[in-house]
Structure 1
Amino acid sequence: MKSSIGARLGTAGRFLPTLALGLTGGGLAYALHIPLPWLLGAMFATTLASLSGARLRSPGRGRKGVLVVIGVMLGAAFTPEMSGDLRLWTMSLAVMLLATAVMMVFSVWFSCRVAGHSLDTALYAGVPGGVSAVTGMALDSGADLRVVGMTHAVRILVLLVAIPPVLKGIGHVSLQPTGMDLAQWLWLPGPADTAWLAGAGVLGAWLGHRLHLPNALLFGPALVSAGLHLTGLTHAAIPPTLIALAQVIIGVSVGVRFTGTSLAKVGHTLVMAGLQALGLLAIAILAAWAIHAATGVSLPAALLAYMPGGAPELSLVALSLGIDPAFVTSHHLLRITVLILLMPVLLNLCRRWSALGKH
């Protein structure tokens, strides 16, 4: 028992320099008034350090805890005062699934024909979301796991970097971080609210695993927290310091994925992944514009909801910028669920078509 605790403390201690780098990057970005400062600042700092050869540590179990916190935060966006039109949400969800199918076709085509990857690699690298589940599924396939992991990491990096200029380009102007005084930063919920939030996190994590939800530590707490807030049992909010820390750890989680990456050896993979991500981003923008023009759905919300992957990252962006996080989260939950359920079917179909093409 003591050795287990000691090992965990040792792991946490080794992560502290990486966390300090992320906090420094986030703090600098905040001081410079960069949009999404804690997330992008931490991501830029750790990505540059990783590509420079620094051996950065992953948050490990810390990221799991942050996913629970983000889930509880997202659930708090589901309030009794929500004015979402169910018909519009249904139409938007349908368009999102159609856009996801187009993204999948484009990704597989691009990976096979342009990047030169195998069919298995193309399928798992091209899934627009659910990186953890997809990587786990790819373990039992013939996919190149390094290409799969790097493609997903580069895609999330490109999407997060693109969000501020794209939102600015479509007219969403509330991107600059709002300054807060020390009292606001140090605000904490009362004991009762803290108990509600902690209970939603613990129960949600357990329920997410029991129900086998995709990204259980994120969506389980989100569902329980949403139930509590929708019914009015609590109006508890997450303290701003915890939100900033969650952004830093998510940013660090993206950056450390490039640790051990040699630009000379994997330059082709990085370039191909970047080009593929830009293609998927273009599809998301077109789909978001189409549903906005047809129904009047918020264009920024549709864009974040349709972006291909990174449910924790994109949901956290929606929450941080106040862009209908309930709408965005619901779309990503449906997308990941459908993709995970259909992946075995898609893989078998593609292999059959590939075999027929050879004959």
Structure 2
Amino acid sequence: MRSLHPWFVTVLPALVVGGIGGGLFAIAHVPLAWMLGALFATTLAALAGYRMVVPASLRSPFVVVLGVLVGSWFAPDMMGHVVRWWPSLLALLPYIALVTLVTTLCFVRISRYDPVTAFFCSAPGGFSEMVVAGERAGGDLRRIALIHAIRVLIVVSVLPVFAWLVEAETAGVTGPALPSAGLRDLVLLAGCGTVGGVAGAILRLPAGPLLGAMVASGAAHMAGLVQGAPPDWSVAAAQVVIGAAAGCRFTGTDPRMILRTLGESVLSTTLMLLLAAAAALLLHLATGLPFAALLLAFIPGGLAETSLIAIVLAVDPAFVATHHVLRIAVIVLAVPWAWRIYRRLAWGGAPPV
């Protein structure tokens, strides 16, 4: 029983608080209610001093459910749509570079951050990777983590409400909502999630469990082996766990430091969102791809959170998830290389000590 004690003290309260928050938001008909309600409830509880945790061992199975769900939108005729996506996929590369440059300058010139911290606060994604790489380079670990955590909080909170208000009428690269899978298909989807999630984690892919489950589920759907999606209750449960996990990131953080960092994070996130909107509008005008789908594909949110937003708002999750997987992969692979170039340009080799 002693080994279960931390779970009852820190994990169960997070799930209960998140579930209550999600339920209240659902009653109020808030968009993406279960995730946003869990996110806000656990964030407020964490800032009030309650120690809550959603461990990776608990989050991963629900992220796998989400990966299977996103893969369910990969229809047999999807390859015909992918051909239309290449302009926006290519546009991600200059977009990431521009966002990182503009936001770095903002942090250095306006917020007076040191260049190391500014650089690793500015990548539009890769929360865990940027924290680790930034600490290794000598940046302010707590500030980097806070900036990215608040960025995800703002994006996940603001975007569903905005998309709901405009009703995402031009999202139409997707069909009607998917039916729930039957018993046979549920068993096959469970197998896809297990094999794909484990493979993604072993291969250390970006967002490995989610990406692996998404690829396995998508392949099964594109091959016509499986039809339908996981049931609605599993989607709601995934929203609660993922939202609570995001809110619990603020556990143990000094509220005064959050207040000091909040304005800087709001400014940088606003810049990122404006650049994402500009990129989405330009690509919409150039390619005819739906603006709502492009906006969701370019916003600097987490893969799990943005995929959920796409599913709930009926904006093609396959399109959105594919772009976010590429965005995270580019950031994780390119940032260390870009950091070396940035360091040479700024200090001629190594940062001052």
Aligned to 1:13: 8
Equivalent residues in 2 for 1:51-130, closer than 5 Å = 51-82=47-78, 85-130=81-126
Contact 1:80/1:230 (<8 A) preserved: yes
The 3 A distance-change label for structure 1 pair 83 and 206 is closer
Aligned to 1:181: none
- CA drift of 1:205 comes to 2.0
- CA drift of 1:48 comes to 1.7
Contact 2:156/2:301 (<8 A) preserved: no
C-alpha distance in structure 2 between counterparts of 1:84 and 1:241, whole Å: 32
Q: Secondary structure, in 3 states, of the residue corresponding to 1:143? A: coil
C-alpha distance in structure 2 between counterparts of 1:170 and 1:33, whole Å: 16
- CA drift of 1:76 comes to 0.9
Work out the number of aligned pairs and report it: 343
C-alpha distance in structure 2 between counterparts of 1:140 and 1:339, whole Å: 16
Equivalent residues in 2 for 1:182-331, closer than 5 Å = 189-331=181-323
Q: Which moved more, 1:248-257 or 1:107-116?
A: 107-116
Asked if residue 148 in structure 1 is aligned to residue 144 in structure 2, the reply is yes
C-alpha distance in structure 2 between counterparts of 1:339 and 1:174, whole Å: 29
- CA drift of 1:129 comes to 1.1
- CA drift of 1:171 comes to 4.9
C-alpha distance in structure 2 between counterparts of 1:37 and 1:63, whole Å: 18
C-alpha distance in structure 1 between counterparts of 2:28 and 2:170, whole Å: 16
- 1:293-318 deviation per Cα after TM superposition (whole angstroms, max 9, x unaligned): 22111111111100013111101111
Contact 2:199/2:212 (<8 A) preserved: yes
Q: Secondary structure, in 3 states, of the residue corresponding to 2:268? A: helix
- 1:73-104 deviation per Cα after TM superposition (whole angstroms, max 9, x unaligned): 11111011438533430001122222222111
Q: Runs (4+) of structure 1 moved beyond 6 Å?
A: none
Identity of aligned residues (%): 37
- Give the residue type in structure 1 aligned to 2:14: T
Structure 1: gaps spanning 5 or more residues: 176-186
- Give the residue type in structure 1 aligned to 2:38: A
- CA drift of 1:140 comes to 2.2
- 1:97-141 deviation per Cα after TM superposition (whole angstroms, max 9, x unaligned): 222221111121122222222222222221111212322333422
Structure 2: gaps spanning 5 or more residues: 172-178
Aligned to 1:43: 39
Contact 1:197/1:236 (<8 A) preserved: no
Contact 1:68/1:201 (<8 A) preserved: yes
C-alpha distance in structure 1 between counterparts of 2:278 and 2:136, whole Å: 35
C-alpha distance in structure 2 between counterparts of 1:174 and 1:39, whole Å: 24
